[in-house]
Amino acid sequence: MSEDFETESDITKALGSEGLFVVPSGVEKILSYNNTNELVKEIISSVDSGETIDEDTVSSLYEQIDKETDDNSEETASEKEEPSTVNTSSPQKQSAEGDIISPEQAYNKIINIKKDKKDARSVINRKDTLDERYPEIYDTVFNREIPDIKPRLDCPTEYEITGDITGRSRSKGDFEDFKSLFGDRHDKMINLLSQRTGSLYKVRDIHKKRHAGETITVAGLVWSKFVSKNDNYFVDLEDPRSNELMRIGWVVDENDRQIKEMFEEIIEDEVIAVRGTLADDGGIIWGDDEVRRGRPPIMFPDVPRKRGKNTPNTPVQAALISDVHVGGEDFYPTYWNQFVDWVRTNPKVKYIFIAGDLVEGIGVYPDQDEELDILDIHDQYAMTGLMFEQFPDDVQIFASVGNHDTVRLAEPQPTLDDKFTKYFPDNVEFVGNPANINVNGVDVLMYHGMSINSIAEVVPGLDAEEPIPIMELMLKKRHLAPIYGKNVRLAPEEEDYLVIEDTPDVLHSGHVHKYGQGEYNGVKIVNTATWLGQTSFQKSKGIVPDVGYWSVLDLSTRDITEKVVEKEEGDE
């Protein structure tokens, strides 16, 4: 909306559309006053004090100011032409004014104050009526005996969000931006790869700098891979900055398992390095001689082995969960209560990480509405917000987003809009997907996990039901979604935020609704399953979820422990 205040209709429209006053004669006056500041400040103060502005109030304000202006100036009629005269005509008034703000700033301020107040009212109204509208879940969660909160362990809450797309998205959705995205992926990954392989060539530099017969290491984006009729393996590597391609080939015999296995792990659009000999005509690099010399056929950037870092002396804990799916009829409030009670009664727990899919959402898959307890997306978040109020308010919560939340599906996903975060208590910090968060010196990388299914689809031997080996592969490839297409949509950002630039201490995902934990080169890996029972969509896909699981991360030792709720016969 333009707020230029240039014409009468600008103002009437702007104010009117926000449910504010519209007094035609007053609008004329705003335009003609050069001491609009005075007028709008009066209006602001009346809004600030909680009064609603009706036409009478505004009229009387106008009258009052009209009168003051008349007292101070004899040439009201000509003010419009010479706006500076009255502004400086009353030093007394000027000093009482404090900062001079423009009508536009004043207008924005009014709008914001009004909006905040309206929002606050609607949040309260919405939360206050959840009990009538959703009695079943409400009663189970809120009308029960809840254990007292035990005071938390004495250790300062220190955290920093070290990586998050939220507020930094520059995607315009152009095709050009995809070129920039893959160019950035290429450059970042080459940098990571060269730390492991030593000097390497980009595809565009090969012919400029090397001659036939030389053995070189080259890195590029996997354009395609294929097996020839004679069972030889080929990969075409691309340099997205120059659009040049280089073909790599391996002539292999039946028994060469290593090359076969590594070849299967290659995913299109990831960046890899290979070593081989540039053929006589320069058209291909042959890698098999190198393999016979005992070198690995393909090099991934990998994560270095983690060395010990500073960790807190006190055994502070973080609870890790994901996929709460509030609003879905298969959500288990009784299980959730067990988790809440565990947090309330465990003084060591000072952080909660949630790796996305806070709510079940609306219209996420066909006929989903038939399986919703809460059909309104605002109510889903309002209920979740109210549920989160049961956590101790000195427990710091980090909430990320997933494909069921109200954000763009394309990754990286910025976090929820204020429209939804307003339902949550102040101890919830909303982050995008993925997000890097450092708590008391420990780096946690949260990623919802949409690429897990896609990777399982293209790499033989991997299964989305067992997420840990897939998450290991992400670390090995230093990329959270080294695949384009399938379930993963990428936003054409200028930068690739899904490259794992810094090795985390913990990689935390969800999405596949299967619990798992493991470790890779010293990085703890965990997938924290879900709080939603099997939906008919999942049934049709043969997905049997793990419900009611969470992980406990001890920040002083970085050990991860699995927790699961007590279940009753007939559950799930």
Query: Encoding tokens for residue 345?
Result: 């009664």
**Which residue among 38, 323, 373, 411 contacts Fe ion (CB under 5 A)?**
323
String marking each residue 366-405 x if it binds ligand D5M according to CB under 6 A: ------------------------------------xxx-
Query: DSSP code of 326?
Result: B
Considering only 538, 552, 562, 563, the residue that binds ligand D5M (CB under 6 A) is 538
Q: Which pair of structure tokens corresponds to residue 488?
A: 């993963």
Please, what is the minimum distance in Å from the beta carbon of residue 520 to Fe ion? 23
Query: Whose Cβ is closer to Zn ion: residue 262's or residue 364's?
Result: 364
Which of 263, 260, 213, 221 shows the shortest CA–CA distance to 238? 221
Distance CA 302, CA 476 (A): 4
> Cα separations (Å) of 298 from 216, 248, 515?
13, 11, 31
- Give the orientation angle of helix 24-32 with respect to helix 36-48, to 10 degrees: 130
Interface residues with Zn ion (CB under 5 A)?
Answer: 357, 402-403, 511
Find which of Zn ion, Fe ion, ligand D5M, none residue 487 binds, CB within 5 to 8 Å per kind. ligand D5M
Window of 117-125, 143-151, 353-361, 518-526 that interacts with Fe ion by CB under 5 A: 353-361
* Binding piece for Fe ion, criterion CB under 5 A, among 144-152, 236-244, 251-259, 319-327: 319-327
What token pair was written down for 553?
């991360």
Tell which residue, 455, 450, 448, 497, has the closest CA to residue 476: 455
Distance of CA 452 to the CA centre of its chain: 17
3-state percent helix, strand, coil for the chain, nearest multiple of 5: 35, 20, 45
- Among residues 357, 360, 405, 443, which is the contact residue for Fe ion, using CB under 5 A? 357
Work out whether 541 is an interface residue with ligand D5M (CB under 6 A).
yes
Query: Which residue, 442 or 455, is less far from ligand D5M as judged by CB?
Result: 455
Which residues within the stretch 429-488 sit at the binding site for ligand D5M (CB under 6 A)? 453, 464, 487
The only residue of 455, 512, 555, 565 in contact with ligand D5M, by rule CB under 6 A: 512
| Cβ-based nearer residue to Zn ion, 269 or 405 | 405
- 302-331 binders of ligand D5M (CB under 6 A): 323
Specify the residue, 402 or 533, whose C-beta has the smaller distance to Zn ion.
Answer: 402
Closest C-alpha to 328, from 267, 383, 401: 383
Q: Is 405 in the site for Fe ion (CB under 5 A)?
A: no
Specify the residue for token string 């520059």: 170
Q: How far is the CB of 542 from Zn ion (least distance, A)?
A: 17
Burial 150-179 (b: 16+ CB within 10 A, else e): eebeebeeebeeebbbbeebebeeeeebbe
Are the C-beta atoms of 86 and 49 separated by less than 8 Å?
Answer: no
Query: Residue numbers of the site for ligand D5M (CB under 6 A)?
Result: 323, 357, 402-404, 453, 464, 487, 511-513, 538, 541, 543
